[in-house]
Amino acid sequence: MNKTFGLITCLLAGSVLAFEGAALLALYDPAEEAPGGEVGTIDDHGKNAFSLPYPGLSDRQKTDFVVGNSFFKKAWVEAPSSTTARDGLGPHFVAQSCGACHALDGRGAPPDFSRGLQTDLRNPAEQPMSLLIRLSIPGQPNPQPDPVYGGQLNNRAIPGVKPEGKVHIRYEPVRGQFADGTPYELLKPTYSITQLAYGPLHKDIMLSPRIAPQMIGLGLLEAIPEADILANATRQRAEGKGIAGQPNYVFDDFAKQEMLGRFGWKANVASIAHQTAGAFHGDIGITSRINPREDCMPAQKDCRRAPSGGTVRQPEIDDKTLNQVILYSQTLAVPSRRAPDSAAVLRGKQIFSDANCVSCHTPSYQTGEFKAIPQLAGQTIFPYTDLLLHDMGEGLADGRPDGRANGRQWKTPPLWGLGLIKTVNGHTRLLHDGRARNMLEAVLWHDGEAKASKDYVLKLNAADRENLLTFLNSL
C-alpha cells in the first residue's frame, strides 16, 4: 500500500502526465496565473504581497491610494490633539487604526494561547486585537443591539472612559480521525465577556465573533455582476448535491437602498464604501458623513461626555479622506499564483474539484462594469467564492442571524491569497474567528451543506491530502 503511494508521489513530482486513473491531474489554465486579471495582479510573494495597488491604476488613483494607505495604517489619536488630521479616536474603540487589525493589509488572528494566556477568567491577559465581537439580542425583522452596550463590544477606550469589557476565549479540543486512521484535533472556542463596565449584558445576548480578513481584490469582487452571483444559487440547486447558496440583501448607506451583500462573514455588507465608513465608526470610533454621531449608548455617560474630534457638520474624517481610504480598500492587488502548473498543484486542483469544493468556492468570473474604478471591467478573475450564504453546520454556528443570514449560515470566503497569509501575517489561523490553526483544520470544520466535501477529504490518503494543501497554498 505504502509503496503504491510512493510511486504516485514520485510520478506527480516528476511529470504532469496523468497516472493510469489513480492520480488524475486537472488541466492547467494559464489565465489562473493572474487571479486578479491583468489590471489587478502583482507578482510580489513576500511580506508586502497584500499591500500593493492594482498595477492598472491611473496616476491620480495611485495618489489617492497612497494617501488612503496612510489613513488606513496610521493610528488615530484622542481629541483634542495637535495632530489634527487624525484626531477623534473613540471614545470607545477596538483598535487605533485599520492596519492594527488588517496588519500589512492581511488577516487577523486570535491571541496566541500557546503561552498559556486567557487562563484567568476574571483577568484575561491578552485581548484580541483583530477579532471583534458583535453583540445583539433577538428582534424583528433583524436582531437588535444590546440596549446598554450597542452592536459590538469595544474592549478599549480613551483615558477617562471605561472600556466596555474584556473578551474571554476558552478552547476545548475536538478529536477525530481520517479514514486511514491518522488522528486530528480541532479547537472549539467558547466566548464570554468579563469585566463589564456598564452592568450586565441583556439576558438574551448573542455573541458573534468575527476576525479581520485580508484586504486583497475587494474592488474586483464588487465588480462581479450580480446576475452571476445569483446564477451560482441556481446552479447549485440544479446540481442536486445538497448545496443551496442563498444571497443576503442588506441596506447600503451610500446607495441608500437594499443591495446584494458581498462582504463580511455573513455577506452583511454590500459595498466597500459602506464597510469602510462602518469600520471607522464601529472599530475606531471615527465619525463621518455617513455616521455623524459618536457610537455611545444612552447609559454610557462617560462616553457621551468625552470630547469629540468633530461635529455633525464636520465629522472626524472628511469626505475626501474617507473616499481615499475607500479607494485604497478597493484596489489592493491580488498576488499571482505560485507554480500553478506543478503536478502537485494540479493534482490538488483535481481533488478540490472532485470533492465538490468548487461548487461554493466558485473559481472564476468575468467582471462587469464598475463605475468607481472603470478599468476593473472585463477582467477574468479567480477569487474562488460564490459570495453566497451556506449552512455550515452546528459546529461553526454562532446562532446569530444577520440580514437574511440565519445563525448557521456563513458566506463562502474568497480563497485567493490564502497561501500567502503565513508569509504576510506569520500565522495560518482561518475561519470566521480564527479557530482553525491551519488549512486542513479549516476544511475539517466544514459541515452542514459542506459535509459531503469534508467526508471526501476525510477519505483521502496522506499524499492526496498533501496535494490538496499544495493547491490551496498556491492560491
Partner 1 sequence: MKKIAMALLLGVAVYSTGVFAADVDQQQVVKQYSVLVSASYQDSLSSARDMQGKINAFLAAPTPETLKAAQAAWLEAREWYGQTEAFRFYGGPIDSETGPEGFINAWPLDEAYIDGVKGKPKAGIINGKSAITEAKLRSLNERGGEENIATGWHAIEFLLWGQDLSRDSAGQRPFTDYTTAPNAKRRGEYLKLVTQMLVDDLASVEKEWQPNQQNFRAQFEQGGNDSIKKIFTSLGTLSRGELAGERIEVALDTQNQEDEHSCFSDNTHRDIVSNAKGIQNVWEGRFVRRSGEVVAGASLKQLVAQKNAAVADAVSSDMATSVKNAEAIVAPFDREIIGKKDAPGRKRVQAVVDALKNQTKNLVEAAKALGIKRLNTSV
d(CA 177, CA 345): 24
The single residue among 15, 63, 123, 311 that binds partner 1, judged by CB under 8 A, is 63
Contact flag: residue 59 with partner 1 (CB under 8 A): yes
- Determine which residue in the list 423, 437, 451, 466 makes contact with partner 1, applying CB under 8 A: 423
Out of 8, 35, 69, 247, the residue judged to bind partner 1 by CB under 8 A: 69
> What would the x/- binding string for partner 1 be over residues 117 to 156, using CB under 8 A?
------------x---------------------------
- Name which of 38 and 302 has its Cβ closer to partner 1: 38
Q: Which is nearer to partner 1, 7 or 85 (CB)?
A: 85
Q: Of 383, 393, 23, give the one whose Cα is nearest residue 223.
A: 383
Min dist CB 362 to partner 1, Å, is 26
DSSP 331-364: -BPEEPPSSTTSHHHHHHHHHHHHTTGGGTS---
Q: According to CB under 8 A, which one of 44, 302, 341, 466 is a site residue for partner 1?
A: 44
Length of the chain: 475
CB closer to partner 1, 48 vs 246: 48
Could you say whether residue 77 binds partner 1 (CB under 8 A)?
A: yes
Is residue 179 within 8 Å of 458, Cβ to Cβ? yes
CB 107 within 8 A of CB 425: yes
CA distance 136 to 150: 8
The answer for residues whose C-beta is within 8 angstroms of residue 450's C-beta and 6 or more apart is 243, 360, 390, 392, 393
114 scored as a contact of partner 1 (CB under 8 A): no
Stretch that binds partner 1, among 65-73, 116-124, 131-139, 357-365 (CB under 8 A): 65-73
Q: Name, in order, each residue with C-beta under 8 angstroms of 88's C-beta and a sequence gap of 6 or more.
A: 76, 78, 79, 285, 286, 287, 308, 309, 310, 316, 317
> Which range, of 81-89, 307-315, 402-410, 444-452, touches partner 1 by CB under 8 A?
81-89
Residue 84 lies near partner 1 (rule: CB under 8 A): yes
Q: How far is the CB of 319 from partner 1 (least distance, A)?
A: 14
Residues forming beta bridges with residue 258, ordered by sequence position = 251
Pairwise CA distance, residues 51 & 88, whole Å: 26
The answer to whether 135 and 167 have CB atoms below 8 angstroms apart is: no
**Cβ distance to partner 1 smaller for residue 331 or 453:** 331
Q: Which is nearer to partner 1, 348 or 434 (CB)?
A: 434
Q: Determine if 314 is a binding residue for partner 1 (CB under 8 A).
A: no
d(CA 346, CA 349): 5
Among 12, 25, 86, 288, binds partner 1 (CB under 8 A): 86
| Cell reading at 312 | 455633525
| Vertex 396 angle, CA 394 and 397, to 5° | 60
Contacts of range 349-354, beta carbons closer than 8 Å, 24 or more positions apart: 349/25, 349/26, 349/471, 350/24, 350/25, 350/26, 351/460, 351/464, 351/467, 351/468, 351/471, 352/468, 352/471, 352/472, 353/26, 354/456
62 vs 235, which CB is nearer to partner 1? Answer: 62
Q: What is the largest CA-CA distance in the chain?
A: 74
Q: Does 58 bind partner 1 (CB under 8 A)?
A: no
The least CB distance from residue 341 to partner 1, in Å, is: 18
- Separation CA 377–CA 196 (nearest Å): 48
Closest CA to 132 of 165, 89, 91: 165
Regarding 46 and contact with partner 1 (CB under 8 A), the answer is: yes
Does position 97 interact with partner 1 (CB under 8 A)? The reply is yes
Among 24, 70, 205, 249, binds partner 1 (CB under 8 A): 70
Q: From the CB of 85, what's the least distance to partner 1, in Å?
A: 4
Helix axes 343-354, 462-474, angle to 10 degrees: 100
Q: Is 428 in the site for partner 1 (CB under 8 A)?
A: no
Report the residue from 8, 11, 23, 52 that binds partner 1 according to the rule CB under 8 A: 52
Beta strands in 383-423 (DSSP E): 389-391, 409-411
**Of 144 and 423, which has the nearer Cβ to partner 1?**
423
The values of phi and psi at residue 53, to 5°, are: -75, 160
Name which of 352 and 416 has its Cβ closer to partner 1. 416
**Residue number, 41 or 350, with CB nearest to partner 1:** 41
Q: State the minimum distance, in angstroms, from the CB of residue 55 to partner 1.
A: 6
Q: Which is nearer to partner 1, 11 or 42 (CB)?
A: 42
Please give the residue ranges that form the binding site for partner 1 (CB under 8 A). 41-44, 46-48, 51-53, 55, 59, 62-63, 65-67, 69-70, 73-75, 77, 82-86, 95-97, 99-100, 103, 129, 423
